[in-house]
Amino acid sequence: MGQQIFKGNIIFTPSPEELKICAKSHIVVEDGTVEGIYERLPEKYGHAPVKDYGERLILPGFVDLHVHAAQFYQCGLGLDRELIDWLSDCTFPAESRFSDPVYAREAYSLFADELIRQGTARACIFATIHKESTGLLFEILQEKGIGAFVGKVNMDRNCPGFLREETEVSIEETEELIIQYGGHPLVKPILTPRFAPSCSGKLLAAIGELAEKYNLPVQSHLAENRREVEWVRELFPSRPTYSDVYFDSGLFGQTPTLMAHGIYLTDRELGLIKDNGVVLVHCPESNINLASGIMPVRKWLGRGIRAGLGSDVGAGHTLAMSKAVVRAIQLSKLMKFFDPWAKPLTIAEAFYMATKGGGSFFGKVGSFEKGYSFDAIVVEDDPRIAGRLSLEEQFQRFLYTGDDRNIIARFVRGRQVG
Ligand code: GUN
Ligand code: FE
């Protein structure tokens, strides 16, 4: 790929406290990796071609740490229900369609195009139980050039017959996909037990063994809804908490682990999460839509827990991570009414979660510091308005009022996508 140089107004968050703004600067990229940012280009690059984006903003591409590809058509539908009824009435029937690879190919292509259009560079994705269509999802993402962890969903109980797997088959097919798709540099497998209620203890333990055998990451759902938490207590009476169910199966930080939601957690669980480096995924749109609750994200961050952001489409109704950033900030403000000492998230903190924070699950991703993958979006605004604003204000305005029409270019590891 060699050397590339881009010029524009570069904005990123090296830490949750710092919004770094490099006005009219150059970013030098070598083989897809950031080499440095320069206001004035050093002599040695003097004659290299520069892609000049003028007044536009260059931001890190977004990282969506939790999304269900098979629920893309379902966005906005059936959201007058809470989690358990939404799963059985809407989601399980919708996911059953993915037994048909023809249907899956079209749905997954449209999903991937929209993900890219909205400026997401990396995503951690749930497919469905279906091996063949999950394989297609790997291939479609590889083709389109986006970075992802993709998981075939495992579930062998508490689901309708048309979506229930035999335990042995679930494990075999998961392992076959790992072997078939394990070698790609950008699109990789992740173990994906749906959530504890839909997995037998035997299935969870076997998935934990696969995680260890292939040294693979894990993603699932945790403590999203009060009824769900109660259900896990009934299904696993010998385990002290929901988190212990995963931990005892080797699915809670023994390899890199993402747990979506994490709203209703005990002190013991917060300790397990922190000590094992489990990453919680805050999915604000989903938590509002399914009336699940508000993740006390400030409190969790204060306890040293790692957290990123997810769209959780289709419980979330948009793949636009700029909207997740804004909604996370808004919910953190509402939190004040329950906890007067709660300090709202700042824009830098929420943007960090959607870029470098979540990106750490992928390695050096989500920032423009030296050594980071050049994953970027280029943002354009109406110059009649943008021209009156500071760069920080233009950045704020994009997050709050912008959409995919403002994104004029997208890069993943230096390669233009979309
Ligand atoms: N818990 C188990 N499955 C799901 C799902 O598909 N979406 C959400 N939001 N929560 C879940
Ligand atoms: Fe989810």
Q: What is the rounded average pLDDT of the residues 375-392?
A: 97
Q: What is the rounded average pLDDT of the residues 254-268?
A: 98
Distance between CA atoms of residues 392 and 390, nearest Å: 5
Mean of all residue pLDDT scores within the chain: 97
Is the pTM for the entire model greater than 0.95? Answer: yes
Stronger pLDDT, 412 or 336, i.e. the higher one: 412
Which pair of structure tokens corresponds to residue 118?
A: 């909205």
Indicate the SS3 state at residue 105. Answer: helix
Q: What is the pLDDT of residues 319-372, one digit of tens each?
A: 999 999 999 999 999 998 988 888 999 999 999 999 999 999 999 999 999 999
Question: What pLDDT is attached to residue 355?
Answer: 98
Cβ(315) – ligand 1 distance below 6 Å: yes
- Centroid of ligand 2 to alpha carbon of 322 (angstroms): 18
Q: At 151, is the pLDDT very low, low, confident or very high (cuts 50, 70, 90)?
A: very high
Ligand 1 atom having least distance to the Cα of 316: 9
Q: Which ligand is nearest to the CA of 74?
A: 1
Q: Answer for the pair 136, 101: CB distance below 8 angstroms, yes or no.
A: yes
Per-residue pLDDT at 47 exceeds 90? no
Q: Answer for the pair 359, 60: CB distance below 8 angstroms, yes or no.
A: yes
Question: What pLDDT is attached to residue 66?
Answer: 98
- Centroid of ligand 1 to alpha carbon of 219 (angstroms): 12
- Centroid of ligand 1 to alpha carbon of 225 (angstroms): 10
Question: What pLDDT is attached to residue 338?
Answer: 87
Residues whose Cβ atom is located within 5 A of ion ligand 2: 260, 312
- Centroid of ligand 1 to alpha carbon of 331 (angstroms): 20
Question: What pLDDT is attached to residue 221?
Answer: 98
What is the Cβ-side half-sphere exposure of residue 120, based on CA atoms within 13 angstroms?
A: 33
Cβ(195) – ligand 1 distance below 6 Å: yes
Cβ(312) – ligand 1 distance below 6 Å: yes
Q: What is the rounded average pLDDT of the residues 239-251?
A: 98
Q: What is the pLDDT of residues 80-93, one digit of tens each?
A: 999 999 999 999 99
Cβ(194) – ligand 1 distance below 6 Å: yes
Indicate the SS3 state at residue 246. Answer: helix
Question: What pLDDT is attached to residue 273?
Answer: 98
Ligand 1 atom having least distance to the Cα of 197: 2
Q: Answer for the pair 355, 65: CB distance below 8 angstroms, yes or no.
A: no
Which pair of structure tokens corresponds to residue 230?
A: 């109660």
Q: What is the rounded average pLDDT of the residues 189-202?
A: 98
Q: At 254, is the pLDDT very low, low, confident or very high (cuts 50, 70, 90)?
A: very high
Which pair of structure tokens corresponds to residue 66?
A: 């939790």
Q: Which ligand is nearest to the CA of 199?
A: 1
Cβ(261) – ligand 1 distance below 6 Å: no
- Centroid of ligand 1 to alpha carbon of 301 (angstroms): 23
Indicate the SS3 state at residue 390. Answer: coil
Q: What is the rounded average pLDDT of the residues 274-281?
A: 98
- Centroid of ligand 2 to alpha carbon of 10 (angstroms): 32
Query: Which domains, and CATH codes, for the chain?
Result: 3-61+367-416 (2.30.40.10), 62-362 (3.20.20.140)
Q: What is the pLDDT of residues 295-310, one digit of tens each?
A: 999 999 999 999 999 9
Per-residue pLDDT at 395 exceeds 90? yes
Name the residue of 87, 163, 199 to mutate for ligand 1: max ligand atoms within 8 A of Cβ: 87
Which residue lies with its CA nearest to atom 5 of ligand 1? Answer: 87
Which pair of structure tokens corresponds to residue 68?
A: 């269900």
Question: What pLDDT is attached to residue 415?
Answer: 98
Beta-strand relationship, 257-261 and 218-222: parallel
Distance between CA atoms of residues 263 and 277, nearest Å: 17
Burial profile 250-272: b = 16 or more Cβ within 10 angstroms, e = fewer: bbbbbbbbbbbbbbbbeeebbeb
Distance between CA atoms of residues 180 and 137, nearest Å: 13
- For the CA atoms of the chain, what is the radius of gyration? 21
Q: What is the rounded average pLDDT of the residues 225-235?
A: 98
Question: What pLDDT is attached to residue 46?
Answer: 81
Contacts of 360 (CB under 8 A, 6+ apart): 306, 366
Q: What is the pLDDT of residues 115-137, one digit of tens each?
A: 999 999 999 999 999 999 999 99
- Centroid of ligand 2 to alpha carbon of 181 (angstroms): 23
CB atoms within 10 A of CB 411: 24
Query: For the chain, how many helices (H) and strands (E)?
Result: 16, 17
Q: What is the rounded average pLDDT of the residues 220-228?
A: 98
